[in-house]
Amino acid sequence: MKDWYALYANILYLHFSEGFYRLPESAKNAASPGNPLLRLLRMGGYTLVRLIGNLFQKVEKPEKLQGKVWLYVVSQNNYDSLHFLQAGIPDAVLVAGQSKAIGRYNDTIARISLRKKLLYYYKFPSLFLRFLSHRRKSTLRFADLLYDAIGFYEVYLQKLRKYRPQAIVFANDHNADARALLLAASTLGIKTAYVQHSSISHLFPPLSFDLSLLEGQDSLDKYRQCGPVEGRVELVGMPKADGFTKLRNNSRRVQTIGIACNLMDLTEELKALLVNITRDFPSFRIVLRPHPRDRRDFSFIRTISPSIKLSDSGQQRVFEYLQGLDMLISGNSGVHLEAVLLNVWSVYFNFNPKEELHDYYGYVAHGLVDAASSYQELKPMLQQGMSQKPEVYLRARYYNATVGTEFDGRSGELALKHLQNFLGYTPQAKNSSTTHL
pLDDT tens string 345-369: 999 999 998 877 788 899 999 999 9
In a domain, 55, yes or no: yes
Alpha-carbon distance of 61 to 55, in angstroms, equals 16
In a domain, 36, yes or no: yes
Q: Please check whether residues 86 and 190 belong to one and the same domain.
A: yes
In a domain, 406, yes or no: no
Q: Please check whether residues 146 and 255 belong to one and the same domain.
A: no
Alpha-carbon distance of 9 to 21, in angstroms, equals 14
Q: Please check whether residues 182 and 266 belong to one and the same domain.
A: no
Q: How many domains does the chain divide into?
A: 2
Q: Please check whether residues 42 and 147 belong to one and the same domain.
A: yes
Q: How does residue 428 score in pLDDT terms, banded at 50, 70 and 90?
A: very low
In a domain, 314, yes or no: yes
Q: Please check whether residues 91 and 190 belong to one and the same domain.
A: yes
The reported pLDDT for the residue numbered 426 is 58
In a domain, 321, yes or no: yes
Residue at a domain's end among 164, 198, 232: 198
Q: Please check whether residues 264 and 183 belong to one and the same domain.
A: no
Question: What does the longest C-alpha to C-alpha distance in the chain come to?
Answer: 68
Alpha-carbon distance of 62 to 163, in angstroms, equals 8
Q: Please check whether residues 282 and 179 belong to one and the same domain.
A: no
Structural domain for 152, as ranges? 4-198
| pLDDT (average), residues 405-421 | 95
Residue-wise pLDDT for 20-46, tens only, equals 999 888 789 889 999 999 999 999 988
Alpha-carbon distance of 78 to 58, in angstroms, equals 24
In a domain, 305, yes or no: yes
Residues facing residue 329 across a β-bridge: 259, 347
**Whether residue 1 has pLDDT greater than 70:** no
**Whether residue 309 has pLDDT greater than 50:** yes
Residue-wise pLDDT for 115-155, tens only, equals 999 999 999 999 999 999 999 999 999 999 999 999 999 99
Q: Please check whether residues 157 and 282 belong to one and the same domain.
A: no
Phi, psi angles (nearest 5°) of residue 384: -60, -45
Q: Please check whether residues 360 and 292 belong to one and the same domain.
A: yes
Q: Please check whether residues 133 and 249 belong to one and the same domain.
A: no
The reported pLDDT for the residue numbered 293 is 81
In a domain, 204, yes or no: no
Residues facing residue 69 across a β-bridge: 92, 167
The reported pLDDT for the residue numbered 391 is 96
CATH number of the domain that 282 lies in? 3.40.50.2000
Q: Please check whether residues 70 and 147 belong to one and the same domain.
A: yes
**Whether residue 50 has pLDDT greater than 80:** no
CA-angle at 204, arms to 203 and 210, nearest 5° = 155
Q: Please check whether residues 284 and 392 belong to one and the same domain.
A: yes
In a domain, 29, yes or no: yes
Residue-wise pLDDT for 194-245, tens only, equals 999 988 888 999 999 999 999 999 999 999 999 999 999 999 999 999 999 9
